[in-house]
Amino acid sequence: METFRAFISMVKDSIGYITHGSKVYHVWMFFLSLIILIGMYFYAIQLEEGLSATGMTDRVSWGLYISNFTFLVGVAAAAVMLVMPTYVLKDIDFKQAVLIGEGLAVAALIMCLAFVVADMGGPSVLWHMIPGIGVFNFPSSMLTWDIIVLNGYLFINITIPLYILFRHYQGKEAKAKVYVPGSILSVLWAVGIHLVTAFLYEGLQARPFWNNALLGPRFLASAFAAGPALIILVLAAIRKFSEFKIEDKTIKKIALIVTVAAQINLIMLVSELFKEFYAPTHHSESAYYLFFGLDGKTALLPWIWTAIPLNVLATILLTFHKLRNNLNILYICCFMLFIAIWIEKGFGLIVPGFIPGPYGKIAEYTPTWVEIWVTLGIWALGAFIFTMLAKTSIGIELGKLRYKKKRAVQTETT
Amino acid sequence: MKVARLTYVLVLLCCVFSCKHKEGEYHSLNEKIETESKKYHGTDISSETYIGDIQTIEIKEGTHTFLIPERKSQIKSYACIECHSKPLNAMQNGSEIQKAHWDIKLNHANENTMNCASCHDGNDMNNLNSLTGNAIDFNKSFQLCAQCHSSQFEDWKGGAHGKNIGGWSQPRAAMTCVNCHNPHEPQIASKWPVQFNTQKVKERE
Amino acid sequence: MGDKKKWFSLDFGVSKGEAVSTNSSCGCGSTSGGCGSHNAPPKKEPVASSCGCGSTSDGCGSHTMPKNEYLITAEEFDAAVEGTMVGETRKDGFQQVFDVKMDRRTAFRKLTASLLIGAGAVQTSCSAIAGEETKEKAQIDWEEQFKGNYKLMTQEEKQATVDRLVRSYQLRKKENIKMSATDASKDVLFGYAFNISKCQGYMNCISACVEENNQDRNSQMQYIRIHEMKDGQGFKFNEADDNYYHEVPAAGHFYMGTQCFHCDDPPCVDVCPVEATWREEDGLVVIDYDWCIGCRYCMAACPYDGRRFNWSKPEVPEAEVNKNQHYLGNRMRKKGVMEKCTFCIQRSRSGNDPACVEACPTGARIFGNLLDPDSTIRWVLENKQVFRLKEDLGTEPKFWYFMD
């Protein structure tokens, strides 16, 4: 009963805490809400008109939504890079960062689910997918696997930080016996969500661009570069805007992870390029389209040729210890890497998979404003959720939010 | 240890249940067709109603038995002898020469190979005439075509050439040669496609 | 409906007696109500929150509730009016294809529409003065929204949903359609052969297909594509034109049609997360349009460009609607669902040829029963040089090409 009361109190306190803050905080949250509302408005248009309001066609049937979904699964999976050393190897450095990382994972997962829903033709019948009430084509459909792993991962990433925060809120230490097994599970699970998402594409014999054994490992490598890169940027922002102390050492350790992952990613990119262009078959046409254009259709060239130099440059810069240890350069590199991988694992992966079509026909894809605004709205939603989660956990970790038993007793007596 | 064993069992179960091929499935479609058609007992689906008002006659050619449209009732001026009351040369040389069949232009092979007499018998206009001079009924004009176009004839009997009438089911009915090809001018003229998709053009711009 | 329910079902338009007494009754799915449950005598005593039990398996014509049984007080009248209004909102929320009053929808209503469905539907059914037809429509919409997957339905359930759809069309368009739910016959496996030396590219097949299958006219959706290929170049689909407009056959070209090949091991079926598409016993790969969630995974998985998506609300002029329909075939679709060639299931299951076969003036298209050793398709497979597209993918299409 006491626990329950404490929990209620924590929820109340955190609601109070997240609705109060500095001017910058309020402006930021207002800005995000505005974007979310605009996104909702455009989503309403999309619901009304159908998916014809987007740039997708029978030729390119997945676009910006699924691109972002794919990328964000990677970001979510990257939280594991922080969980592993902290919980399991008891690395103190990461402990402050890990709650942020898991908050990021939760926000990313919610964005993933939002993107999938936004991409659905019939959101009103989504209950057909719920096991038990609907029909769940498990294990045949990789999409059902993805639903399981994503929701499972979301659950793990909500419960572990919640448990730790709740203990801290009550002024107690979190019991390792409780959260360590969960953490180990989440480590395995994180690899799982990304592999399964890769298998979603890899398993389609119809699309040679995706049907490629390197896709899964490349997903992992790029995720472990882009995810922690984003975490570094977020930590930098938190350092700036709150009293939460994050040591340079922590950021530098994460930077090392980013570097190694980015290097591996680059090696795999080279291997992929070699295969596609040294002995090109007609299965290489998608890659040709992506990198050089096909039949005068060149819509993706500006994207990919932004991504590749950014990717290479950032990886090279990060490789040098001196440059990496300069925090300003590190932040710039992380930003470049994040953008590069967002393009590469989003647009650069999904769209060329459909081009050329099964019979060689090329119809290019350009997202419409409806799509772009819905996408921005979902990103804003993610940022909104993350800000709330981060603020609460920082508040608890800093000891600003503490369970006051007295108050509970007082209310009882009155 | 227990946890490890449990995960092992779980993984194993997953592998077993995610196996794509179910029991009772065949290795290939051909195998399936072969095996399952061995116990074929026929269906009670009939395509008889879809043949509609077309009058048909049953023909038997080799192992194939099927229906083709009856022809004679479709020829406007059959029977021919109503006009061709005398043998052709008698009519052509007689005093009362009448011009007829001006709409018929013969464009079938070249003049060395074919002329009117390759198919028609001036002495028996009611029937067609085989290369060896035997009479062929107008209803079975395919026998005439088959003399030269033997491979097409084979395909037609089997169903690979020509157009099916009615449904896919039994009884089988098919158009005969002259339902599509004008025997005097058997080539089919080129024409415009019946439609054009403007949306597709937009999509691919 | 049997005792074992495979999915959630809810019925709200039950006995009128309850309806008058309150507008906050809750419907609960029952297992055994036939048509008779709708004719139940009205209860005398008003109940604060009654539970309406009905069934989903009844046919459509069962709502024969006499109107004059109700005595309406002012209070009840208000409640009823409110119910009607909410009911209309709810109707707006539905994305059923036959919803004619589309333009009244407002953008934000739609956002919350699914939330309103439940409340609205219950209230509509309970409002005494709502028109009987409106109520019936709402009842049908509700049952259609929460019906199960066709593949798993019993014969009665299949018939019930077909009846509902026919009735719904009647209510909305004042026209009668004929819809069947014929199952696959034993000893039938459909196959198709295409003669590439015969096809002349007239495209009669495409026109016939569009008309037969009620495809969206606005987006000019077509199941069939005819590719015009150069002689002597092999199959260069990327260089082939599939949207030509000149006199055909063009010199030095041949023509090749593609459509859904009804693979025997269809990748699209494997990937569907909700089993909204499957292979029937007679080999046809079909879609339950009402069960499809529109994720387009099947579209990505199809190596043959066989699937089409309704990007916007499909529209067919009323005069051109083919009223001879099959649940899995050419019935009216809604926006946001997949569709594709079904070998004209509404025709082929009753022994007729698909529309493309019938329309083809050249006889290049051959259709038949692969299990019948005497069928023409079998003769073609056994006597001609046949091949299939992308055989290396292991999808086992039941669509062969051959030459003279």
Domain regions of chain C by residue span: 16-153, 190-402
Query: Shortest Cα distance from B67 to chain A (angstroms)?
Result: 39
Please tell me which chains touch A, using 3 or more CB pairs under 8 Å as the contact test.
B, C
d(Cα B64, Cα C338) in Å, to the nearest integer? Answer: 41
Residue C349 structure tokens: 């299951």
* Nearest CB to A61 within list C7, C293, C299: C299
Q: With contacts defined as CB-CB under 8 Å, which chain C residues touch B158?
A: 376, 379-380, 383
Asked if A61 is an interface residue toward chain C (Cβ–Cβ < 8 A), one would say: yes
Higher pLDDT residue, B21 or A136?
A136
**What pLDDT sits at residue B20?**
53
Whether residues C264 and B32 touch (CB distance < 8 A) is answered with yes
Q: Range of A334's domain?
A: 2-413
Asked if A11 is an interface residue toward chain C (Cβ–Cβ < 8 A), one would say: no
Whether residues C264 and B166 touch (CB distance < 8 A) is answered with no
Whether residues C7 and A44 touch (CB distance < 8 A) is answered with no
d(Cα B151, Cα B132) in Å, to the nearest integer? Answer: 20
C178-180 and C190-195 beta bridge pairing: unpaired
Residue A187 structure tokens: 């480590």
**Per-residue confidence of chain C (404 residues) as pLDDT tens digits?**
444 444 444 444 443 334 333 333 343 433 333 333 344 444 444 443 333 343 333 333 334 344 444 444 445 545 444 444 444 444 333 444 344 443 444 434 444 454 555 555 555 555 555 688 888 889 999 998 889 999 999 999 999 999 999 999 999 888 899 999 999 998 999 999 999 999 999 999 999 999 999 999 999 999 999 999 999 988 888 889 888 999 989 999 999 999 999 999 999 999 999 999 999 999 999 999 999 999 999 999 999 999 999 999 999 999 999 999 999 999 999 999 999 999 999 999 999 999 999 999 999 999 999 999 999 999 999 999 999 999 999 999 999 999 98
Whether residues B14 and A363 touch (CB distance < 8 A) is answered with no
Residue B182 has pLDDT above 50, yes or no: yes
Return the residue matching tokens 């592993």.
A84
Alpha carbon C300 to chain centroid distance? 21
The pLDDT tens digits for A285-313 are: 999 999 999 988 999 999 999 999 999 99
d(Cα C63, Cα A16) in Å, to the nearest integer? Answer: 53
Q: Which residues of C284-297 are buried (b: 16+ CB within 10 A; e: fewer)?
A: bbbbbbbbbbbbbb
The pLDDT tens digits for A384-406 are: 999 999 999 888 888 888 887 65
Percent of all residues in chain A with a pLDDT value above 90, rounded to a whole number: 56
Q: With contacts defined as CB-CB under 8 Å, which chain C residues touch B155?
A: 384, 404
**Protein fold of C190-402:** Alpha-Beta Plaits (3.30.70)
Asked if A149 is an interface residue toward chain B (Cβ–Cβ < 8 A), one would say: no
Average pLDDT of the residues in A263-267: 94
User: Does residue B77 contact residue B83 with C-beta atoms inside 8 Å?
Assistant: yes
User: Does residue A103 contact residue A382 with C-beta atoms inside 8 Å?
Assistant: no
Q: With contacts defined as CB-CB under 8 Å, which chain A residues touch B203?
A: 57-59, 363
d(Cα A366, Cα A346) in Å, to the nearest integer? Answer: 14
Residue of C nearest to A135 (CA): C274
Average pLDDT of the residues in B141-151: 93
Whether residues C363 and B164 touch (CB distance < 8 A) is answered with yes
Q: In chain B, which residues touch A (CB < 8 A)?
A: 14, 17-18, 20, 203-204
Whether residues B172 and C376 touch (CB distance < 8 A) is answered with yes
User: Does residue C286 contact residue C277 with C-beta atoms inside 8 Å?
Assistant: yes
Q: With contacts defined as CB-CB under 8 Å, which chain B residues touch A363?
A: 203-204
Higher pLDDT residue, A410 or B153?
B153
Size of interface A-B (CB pairs under 8 A): 13
User: Does residue A253 contact residue A239 with C-beta atoms inside 8 Å?
Assistant: no
The pLDDT tens digits for A326-374 are: 999 999 999 999 999 999 988 899 999 998 888 988 899 999 999 999 9
* Nearest CB to B190 within list C249, C363, C377: C249
Distinct helix (H) and strand (E) counts, chain C: 11, 14
Residue A84 has pLDDT above 90, yes or no: no
Q: With contacts defined as CB-CB under 8 Å, which chain C residues touch A47?
A: 107, 110-111
Residue of A nearest to C395 (CA): A205
Mean pLDDT of chain A: 89
Whether residues C111 and A360 touch (CB distance < 8 A) is answered with no
Asked if A133 is an interface residue toward chain C (Cβ–Cβ < 8 A), one would say: yes
Whether residues A205 and C239 touch (CB distance < 8 A) is answered with no
Query: Shortest Cα distance from B133 to chain C (angstroms)?
Result: 30
Number of domains present in the structure of chain A: 1
Mean pLDDT of chain B: 85
Neighbours of B18 (CB within 10 A): 11
Nearby residues of A248 by Cβ (< 8 Å), 6 or more positions away: A327
Higher pLDDT residue, B152 or C128?
B152
**What pLDDT sits at residue C15?**
38
Query: Shortest Cα distance from C300 to chain B (angstroms)?
Result: 18
Domain of residue A379, CATH code: 1.20.1630.10
Residue of B nearest to A141 (CA): B18
Whether residues C296 and A121 touch (CB distance < 8 A) is answered with yes
**What pLDDT sits at residue A320?**
93
Which of B15-24, B102-111, C277-286 is predicted with the least confidence, judged by mean pLDDT?
B15-24
Mutate to test the interface with A, among C263, C268, C275, C395 (most CBs of A within 10 A): C275
C220: left (phi over 0), alpha (psi -120 to 50) or beta: left
Cβ within 8 Å of B, A 341-380 = 361-363
| Among C107, C102, C121, CA closest to C19 | C121
d(Cα A111, Cα B102) in Å, to the nearest integer? Answer: 79
**What pLDDT sits at residue B146?**
93
Query: Shortest Cα distance from C6 to chain B (angstroms)?
Result: 22
**What pLDDT sits at residue C97?**
37
Residue of B nearest to C208 (CA): B194
Q: With contacts defined as CB-CB under 8 Å, which chain B residues touch C350?
A: 45, 167
- The alpha-helical segments, DSSP class H, found in C127-185 are 132-145, 155-173
Reduced DSSP (H G I as helix, E B as strand, rest coil) percent helix, strand, coil of chain A, to 5: 75, 0, 20
Whether residues B203 and A362 touch (CB distance < 8 A) is answered with no
d(Cα C400, Cα C378) in Å, to the nearest integer? Answer: 11
Whether residues A359 and C240 touch (CB distance < 8 A) is answered with yes
Q: With contacts defined as CB-CB under 8 Å, which chain A residues touch C152?
A: 135
Mutate to test the interface with C, among B18, B22, B26, B29 (most CBs of C within 10 A): B29
Whether residues C311 and A44 touch (CB distance < 8 A) is answered with no
Neighbours of C51 (CB within 10 A): 12
Size of interface A-C (CB pairs under 8 A): 165
Confidence of residue A375 (pLDDT cuts 50, 70, 90): very high
**What pLDDT sits at residue B176?**
93
Residue B34 has pLDDT above 70, yes or no: yes
**What pLDDT sits at residue C31?**
37
Distances (CA, A) of C15 to A179, C39, C50, C77, C106: 54, 7, 11, 18, 33
Single-letter residue type at B60: K
Single-letter residue type at C167: R
User: Does residue A195 contact residue A216 with C-beta atoms inside 8 Å?
Assistant: yes
**Neighbouring-strand partners of residue A170:** none
Whether residues B14 and A139 touch (CB distance < 8 A) is answered with yes
Higher pLDDT residue, B200 or A204?
A204
Distances (CA, A) of A285 to A301, A307, C230: 14, 20, 21
Query: Shortest Cα distance from A121 to chain C (angstroms)?
Result: 4
Q: With contacts defined as CB-CB under 8 Å, which chain C residues touch B196?
A: 243, 245
| Among C232, C233, C215, CA closest to C224 | C215
**What pLDDT sits at residue A134?**
86
Residue A239 has pLDDT above 80, yes or no: yes
The torsion defined by the Cα of B27, B28, B31 and B33, in degrees rounded to 10, comes to 130
pTM for this prediction: 0.83
Residue of B nearest to A360 (CA): B204
Residue B72 has pLDDT above 80, yes or no: yes
DSSP 3-state assignment of B69? strand
Please tell me which chains touch B, using 3 or more CB pairs under 8 Å as the contact test.
A, C
Provide the sign of the torsion angle of the four alpha carbons A31, A36, A41, A43, taken in this order: positive
**What pLDDT sits at residue A27?**
95
Average pLDDT of the residues in A164-185: 85
Q: With contacts defined as CB-CB under 8 Å, which chain C residues touch B198?
A: 220
Confidence of residue A244 (pLDDT cuts 50, 70, 90): confident
Establish whether the linkage from the previous residue to A356 is cis, with ω within 30° of 0: yes
Exposure of B46 in the CB half-sphere (CA atoms within 13 A)? 6
Average pLDDT of the residues in A37-60: 94
Which of B60-64, B89-93, C218-222, C346-350 is predicted with the least confidence, judged by mean pLDDT?
B89-93
Query: Shortest Cα distance from B23 to chain A (angstroms)?
Result: 15
Query: Shortest Cα distance from A299 to chain C (angstroms)?
Result: 18
Residue A296 structure tokens: 């005068």
Average pLDDT of the residues in A132-159: 90
The pLDDT tens digits for A5-32 are: 888 988 898 898 888 888 999 999 999 9
Q: With contacts defined as CB-CB under 8 Å, which chain B residues touch C201?
A: 193
d(Cα B18, Cα B110) in Å, to the nearest integer? Answer: 66
Nearby residues of C151 by Cβ (< 8 Å), 6 or more positions away: A135, C275, C278, C288, C291
Whether residues C114 and A141 touch (CB distance < 8 A) is answered with no
Q: Which residues of C205-214 are buried (b: 16+ CB within 10 A; e: fewer)?
A: bbbbbbbbbb
Establish whether the linkage from the previous residue to B90 is cis, with ω within 30° of 0: no
Q: Kindly write down the DSSP assignment for every residue of A74-134, as one continuous string.
A: HHHHHTHHHHIIIIIS--GGGHHHHHHHHHHHHHHHHHHHHHHHHH-S-GGGGGGGSTTTS
Exposure of C98 in the CB half-sphere (CA atoms within 13 A)? 23
